[in-house]
A and B are shown apart, each in its own frame.
Chain A
Amino acid sequence: MTGPRTAPAPFWRAPLSARPWQEQGYLVAQLVTAPLGFAWFVLTVALIPSLAITVVGLFVGGGLVVGARWWGTMQRWLASRMLGREVPAPPPWRRPRGSFRTLGSMLGDVTGWRALGFMVAQFVLALIAFPVSITVLAVGLGGVTYWYWGQWLPAEQDADGVWHRGSQILPGVWIEGVGNLIAVAAGLALLLLWPLVTGAFARLFGVLAADLLGPTASAVRLAEVTRTRSQAVQDADGRLRQIERDLHDGTQARLVAISMQLGEARDALAAPGADPQALELVTQAHDSTKEAMVELREISRGIRPASLDAGLVLALETLAARGTVPVTVDADPDLHASPEIEAIAYYCVAELLTNVAKHAQASGAYVTLAADDGMLRIRVRDDGVGGSAVTSPGHEGGTGLAGLRQRLAAVDGVLGIDSPAGGPTVVDVTLPLTVDTER
């Protein structure tokens, strides 16, 4: 929000610079907001045990815990605007599926509880910081100008009967005459001290905000690991696509050209009077070139189907049309995910349809795709015999579902399977639409 703060002014000019005034303003804001935050904390702690009788009540308590994150957001904004201290935001709260899991995640939200902790610490600190800093400022200003306003103080009589015009700070000690000079000096000293006081409290609040309102060290590390993993997934997909394109542009094109020439040569040798042995050789070469083309196309499809370049839904329709079991694909043709997600989704569906063809004895399969809330949801349903289970990859009779799970896990995707004996089998795959590097 605010740019990097300028270098601190030399101490004799510090009271006239903007910084201590901003910091004092921040301390005022803290004094105003701290009681509200403390009330929030007390309410949360008091309500959770008493509302625990009803599940709905627990949701209210959980809402207060998660809601404390909002307080953290507001406080990070204050620190950024008024102190120039940037505290990175912790990872956002994500609602898991299922209401009891949601409840657990709300009540156990570490970020929310840390924000509640901030509320308590903020309350204590604000109650000290504001009075101390404002006293130093007020007494300092009063002292510096005492020589002027002291003359309007009412005259007072001391115990010894002498009349004085000035403040009595200790019994028998009056500030008057030379004392005026001392008062000005003391006021000046306090004014010079004031920026140090506000600065110290601002730093304390800054440390508090960074420790309690920022991401934890493990969260920072998790974000870093997620980011590098996403990068690895993207890199791998990019390399595969490059290999596939090189094969298509180079080797495959060359093979097609060779087979074309061999086809011509064969036709020329089929003319009467040509060498029958040469015809046989060229025919063989032609046939094996065609086989090589088919093999290479299969390999290339295994690396990364070219149809994926035209979009996931189109690629799946192509895949569905090739299968032995009739497959219906139901999806919005404009549905799009990032390339590496589309590749993983494609292989999942391909693997699942292979399973259907191999094990399910189904008469049809249905693939539905939908994108909502940043997630790609895929359902593969068949009307076969059921009884599928996740077994380890390569396991005898295994369906490769464990391998799929591993592959999905690389992008935080999940696979759920419902396959009672007797069927039908429903497999749900959920994965993020993009491998975002922000989480």
Chain B
Amino acid sequence: MTEPIAAPVRVAVAEDSVILRDGLVSLLTRRGFAVVAAAGDGESLLAALRALPESEAPQVAVLDVRMPPSHTDEGLRTALRLREERPEIGVLLFSQYVETRFAARLFGGDARGMGYLLKDRVSEVNDFVDAIGRVAHGQTVLDPEVVTQLFGAASSDAGLARLTPREREVLTLMAQGRSNGAIAAELVLSAGAVEKHVSSIFAKLSLPPDAGSHRRVLAVLRHLAPGS
């Protein structure tokens, strides 16, 4: 936040509730983002993005999962299409309820610049704004609730069952895309201790130990996601 003359992050918003959409737009504008497009459903957003010149293309698209016409998973479908057509745009999906299969589909491919948050998180304005920034910079953001549910869905897994409670905590934070340093700070551990936990987790889950920060989120997700 200390860089003085950074260009504002460009954001596009798709949310069918006018109240919430207006609220989001004014919040983001006040927080120094440039909202380049705001639409009521996924199709309109994609159309608006196509009309924008290359220089004004958004870095992040914030999408509600449940939008017209069918009110089921339009946001998710828009996200997947966006990923295909415009992979350089980050996608932050937000939803009224946690849907593990949606998360699995969203993160099934390239998880860079992907986020999935519960709608309620918007009320913690700083965290929300921070999440948009992280997605804009190509990081992965996962709602803690999503991670918990992924654990729940995969709880019968033998590898997971062998994890110690501490290792589970570390894994949860890893799945949220945190770095070793951030995990150490969060759990009040030394960096060396976190590294030991991480390599132990990777060994127990039979994951490649040399994975980098995003690849390892992906690896963890792939491991946890149901039906994969």
Known A261-B23, A318-B100, A320-B153; contact A289-B125, beta-carbon cutoff 8 A: no
* A260→B99 contact, CB < 8 A: no
Q: How many Å lie between the Cα of A321 and that of B98 in the bound state?
A: 9
* B123→A263 contact, CB < 8 A: yes
* A309→B226 contact, CB < 8 A: no
Q: How many Å lie between the Cα of A252 and that of B70 in the bound state?
A: 18
Q: How far is the CB of A369 from chain B (nearest CB, A)?
A: 15
* B101→A264 contact, CB < 8 A: no
Of B12-20, B81-89, B175-183, the stretch lying at the interface with chain A is: B12-20
Of A139-147, A290-298, A349-357, A421-429, the stretch lying at the interface with chain B is: A290-298
Chain A: which residue is nearest B23 at the CB level?
A257
Of A105-113, A187-195, A322-330, the stretch lying at the interface with chain B is: A322-330
Chain A: which residue is nearest B76 at the CB level?
A310
Give the contacts of B43-76 with A (CB-CB under 8 A): 66, 70-73
Chain A CB within 8 A of B126 CB: yes
Known A259-B122, A260-B122; contact A249-B73, beta-carbon cutoff 8 A: no
Chain A CB within 8 A of B8 CB: no
Name the contact of A253 in the complex, choosing from B17, B71, B126, B152 (C-beta under 8 A): B17
Chain A CB within 8 A of B199 CB: no
Contacts of B124 in A (CB 8 A): 263
Give the contacts of B97-143 with A (CB-CB under 8 A): 97-101, 119-120, 122-126
Contacts of A328 in B (CB 8 A): 156
* A326→B155 contact, CB < 8 A: yes
Give 1 or 0 for each of A252-292: 1 = CB within 8 Å of chain B CB.
11101101111110010000000000000000001001100
Q: How many Å lie between the Cα of A355 and that of B22 in the bound state?
A: 43
Q: How far is the CB of A283 from chain B (nearest CB, A)?
A: 12
Known A248-B96, A321-B98, A321-B100; contact A310-B72, beta-carbon cutoff 8 A: yes
On chain B, the number of residues with a Cβ less than 8 Å from chain A's Cβ atoms is 35
Q: How many Å lie between the Cα of A415 and that of B53 in the bound state?
A: 60
* A307→B99 contact, CB < 8 A: yes
Contacts of B20 in A (CB 8 A): 253-254, 256-257
* B100→A317 contact, CB < 8 A: yes
* B152→A264 contact, CB < 8 A: no
Interface residues of A, dominant DSSP: helix
Known A256-B120, A322-B149; contact A306-B17, beta-carbon cutoff 8 A: no
Q: How many Å lie between the Cα of A286 and that of B126 in the bound state?
A: 14
Q: How far is the CB of A298 from chain B (nearest CB, A)?
A: 11
Give the contacts of B158-196 with A (CB-CB under 8 A): none
* A289→B100 contact, CB < 8 A: no
Chain B CB within 8 A of A400 CB: no
Contacts of B207 in A (CB 8 A): none
Chain B CB within 8 A of A245 CB: yes
Interface-central residue, B17, B22, B70, B123, by most chain A CB under 10 Å: B123
Q: How many Å lie between the Cα of A314 and that of B105 in the bound state?
A: 13
Q: How many Å lie between the Cα of A149 and that of B20 in the bound state?
A: 100
Contacts of A57 in B (CB 8 A): none
Chain A CB within 8 A of B27 CB: yes
- Residue positions of B touching A, CB distance < 8 A: 16-17, 19-20, 22-24, 27, 30, 66, 70-73, 96-101, 119-120, 122-126, 149-150, 152-153, 155-156, 226-227
List the 9 shortest-distance A-B pairs measured between CB atoms, nearest first.
A259-B123, A253-B17, A257-B23, A321-B149, A263-B125, A310-B72, A326-B155, A253-B20, A321-B152
> What 6 new A-B contacts, CB under 8 Å, besides A267-B125, A290-B120?
A245-B71, A260-B23, A310-B73, A310-B99, A323-B152, A364-B156
